[in-house]
Structure 1
Amino acid sequence: MQALVISSPGHAEIIEVPVPVPAVGEVAIDLAFVGYCGSDLTSYRGLNPLVSYPRVPGHEIAGTIASLGSGVEGLSIGETVTVLPYFNCGKCRACRAGRPNACLYNQTMGVQREGAMTARVVVPRDKVLPIGGVRLRDAALIEPCSVGFHAVNRAQIERGETVVVLGCGMIGLGALMGSLRRGATVIAVDVSPEKLEVAKKLGAASIICTADGDVSAQIAAILPEGPDVVIEAVGTTATFLQAVDIVGQCGRIVYIGYAKHPVEYDTKQFITKELDIRGSRNAMRSDFDDVIAWLTEHPEAGDLIVSATVSLADAPTALARWDSQPGSFTKILVRLAPLD
């Protein structure tokens, strides 16, 4: 069968790979759609320190069950599913604490291990999630949305609070939707007017384009005392610092992105504002369940989020276009042809 592989930085191509067969306790899934993730783009750019080459990318998965290994129960051939693409050790401190998303030895499909940008994958039974109520295409949006939902859970957002989301890529939009599900009022900030328009249609109360001037001043005009929560979903030095500047007294900051260079803070604000500052990594099974519930209740979200759908043959070209025009795409999905 064919697969997309990032063979080296700046080079993606279609190759032939063996068709996998499920062993005991495993499930074979025919892929219908797989989304390009920001980690795939950084791998393509040679900026992902976690990836080695060549690597088949892809962990945002929508598919149907093709076959079941012996001992698998509770699933049916032909059932629509997505996949929890994180593999944890089960022994480190995070795993023992019930937080496998932060496993010290985490391996994510498409990053530290081969991904799903191909016709069929095989995964353990406990990684397979049925998705009744969500259309097949939109199942590929569950994982990226869940990363934003997890950040919302880390922030412990409550109904009536105000939230600023810095960055309206896929992860930021997940944080927006997760905040709305908690009953918060959300201000979305981004450099791209197109992405801000998507955020507005998804429910952001206000949108702020960084090209329009001082973001801090624009936020202060809406929230004179600052927001209760800031979720940073960009991963730049400027937005890391900006989160501390704009959050209100006794506020919470959650970082999803990570800056590529060390960040120098004026730590006085940590104390004078008595801030809670937290990191957020990957997602939990419960976050996936929350996203499935949200997308079931808001079927229009997928049409707003998906920017383009391409074939596997066109996937290398689409990745190159995304690299050259990152602001033009919110989500690119690759449609996979089923095996005969």
Structure 2
Amino acid sequence: MKSVVIEKPGVLRIAERERPQPGAGEVRVKVVAAGICGSDVHIFHGNNPFARYPRVIGHEFSGIIDAVGEGVDPARIGTRVAVDPVVSCGHCYPCSIGKPNVCTTLQVIGVHLDGGFSEYAVAPSRNAYPLPDCIGDDVAPMIEPFTIAANICGHLKPRPDDIALIYGAGPMGLTVIQALKGVYGVKQVIVADRLPSRLKLADASGADLLIDSSVTPLPEELTRLQIKPTLIVDAACHPAILQEAALLASPAARIGLMGFSAEPSSITQQSLTSKELSIFTSRLNSARFPEVIGWFERGQVQPATLITHAFDLEEVEKGLHLFEHDAAACCKVVLRF
């Protein structure tokens, strides 16, 4: 089988490998489609502290179960599935309170374990979720990105009367916009970004107010409009945003952080406690696949609007380069198998 292997930082090759055999409790998936994520680019460049090399990347993927390991019902063979990359122990403290995404022995398929940029991949049976026929192969890899939005929304508990501000109209920001509008019915969603093309995607995703922060400073525009957001999501993932978000927020607002920067954020306690702000952080997803599959099935989100490019597996380097270097033209890239 062909697999996309990062041999070491900066070195990618499409290698011929033996098909993996599913172990006890595992299934083997014949991969049909996979999505490129920023995490894949970080692993390629050696900027992901959790990856070990060589590594088959790819954590957004779907396909068809073609083999099962011991203890797995053979009737699952032939089932179309989307794969949750979060592999957890199920019994540590985080797992016991419904947060397998921060399991004390967390492993992520495509990061700690070989992933889905391969013709075949293995995963725990419980991580392979059946797909209804109405979810096409072209959009099935988008389920995983939308689980990231589901996770932060699960913390923030959006309400229809919220005024939401989203920093960043990249893939993560766009999934959050669609969730806020299509799932939670939030009345006003404001999006700030510096790229007109991304703001155009935000508009297509349902945003109500677009702010080009390269032209008009966000604080100045919100002050002019007399807007105090009650819900803020940092999907731009810059450490300077937290302090600004606290200053812009309404009293009693909720702030959600999706970033993974190692750079420190500077913020005063007074800016938080004076308004009694709530801050939530979110990593990966906590068993959100069934929830998001339901969103797709009911048409509450429109994942196809975020897919700007599709390539064959052999063109993976082209896809990675485009995703990294052409944010104006590229949002989500899907690999076809």
Matched residue, 2:10: 10
Q: TM-score, normalised by structure 1?
A: 0.92
CA distance, structure 2, for counterparts of residue 19 and residue 278 of structure 1:
41
Aligned to 1:168: 169
Report whether the alignment pairs 1:193 with 2:196.
yes
Partner secondary structure for residue 308 of structure 1: strand
Q: Which residue number in structure 1 is paired with residue 126 of structure 2? A: 126
Deviations 1:199-233 (A, max 9, x none): 111111112222122112223344x2411110111
Q: How does 1:132-143 map to 2 (within 5 A)?
A: 132=132, 133-143=134-144
User: Which whole-Å CA distance do the structure 1 matches of 2:300 and 2:313 have between them?
Assistant: 25
> How far 1:66 sits from its partner (Å)?
1.4
C-alpha contact 2:34 2:61 (8 A) present in aligned 1: yes
Name the structure 1 match of 2:321: 320
For 1:1-340, what aligned pairs fall within 5 Å after superposition? Answer: 1-73=1-73, 76-132=76-132, 133-180=134-181, 181-184=183-186, 185-222=188-225, 224-285=226-287, 287-298=288-299, 301-336=302-337
User: Matches of 2:118 and 2:315 in 1, distance apart?
Assistant: 13
Q: Say whether the 8 Å CA contact 1:55–1:110 is kept in structure 2.
A: yes
Kindly state the Cα deviation for residue 155 of structure 1 after the two structures are TM-superposed. Answer: 0.5
Give the fraction of aligned pairs with identical amino acids, expressed as a percent: 28
Does the residue aligned with 2:56 lie in a helix, a strand or coil?
coil
- 1:9-61: per-residue Cα shift (whole Å, max 9, x none)? 33322112210122333211111111111111222232211112222110101
For residues 74 and 290 of structure 1, the distance between their equivalents in structure 2, rounded to whole angstroms, comes to 25
Q: 1:4 to 1:282 in 2, by over 3 A?
A: same
Cα deviation, 1:239-269, whole Å, max 9, x if unaligned, reads 2333222221110101011223111113221
Contact residue 114 and residue 121 of structure 2 kept, 8 A:
no
Q: Tell me, what secondary structure is at the counterpart of 1:66?
A: strand
CA contact (8 A) 1:62 1:137 kept: no
* Deviations, residues 156-213 of structure 1 (Å, cap 9, x unaligned): 1112211111122222122112212111121122222212211111111112222122
1:5/1:14 contact within 8 Å kept: yes
Deviations 1:54-112 (A, max 9, x none): 22110101211212334323953332210111111233321122211121221111112
In structure 2, what is the Cα distance between the partners aligned to 1:44 and 1:22?
26
Which deviates the most, 213-222 or 171-180?
Answer: 213-222
Partners of 1:74 and 1:206 in 2: how far apart?
Answer: 51
* Alignment RMSD: 1.9
For 1:300 and 1:271, the matched residues in 2 are separated by 35
Query: How far apart are the structure 2 equivalents of 1:142 and 1:242?
Result: 31
Judge conservation of contact 2:38–2:324 (CA < 8 Å) in 1. no
| Number of residue pairs matched by the alignment | 334
TM-score (norm 2): 0.93
Whole-angstrom CA distance in 1 between matches of 2:299 and 2:292 = 10
Change (3 A) 1:243 1:12: farther
Instruction: Indicate if the aligned counterparts of 1:162 and 1:228 stay in contact, CA closer than 8 A.
Output: yes
SS in 2 for 1:12: strand
Residues 95-145 of structure 1 deviation map (CA, whole Å, 9 limit, x = unaligned): 122211121221111112211100011212111101103111211000011
Runs of 4+ aligned residues of structure 1 deviating over 4 Å after TM superposition are none
Q: Helix, strand or coil: the match of 1:164? A: strand
Quick one: distance in 2 between partners of 1:140 and 1:74?
24
CA distance in structure 1 between the partners assigned to 2:250 and 2:70 by the alignment: 55
Change (3 A) 1:90 1:302: closer
Is the 2:178–2:302 Cα contact (8 Å) retained in structure 1? no
The whole-number CA distance in structure 2 between the counterparts of 1:284 and 1:177 is 19
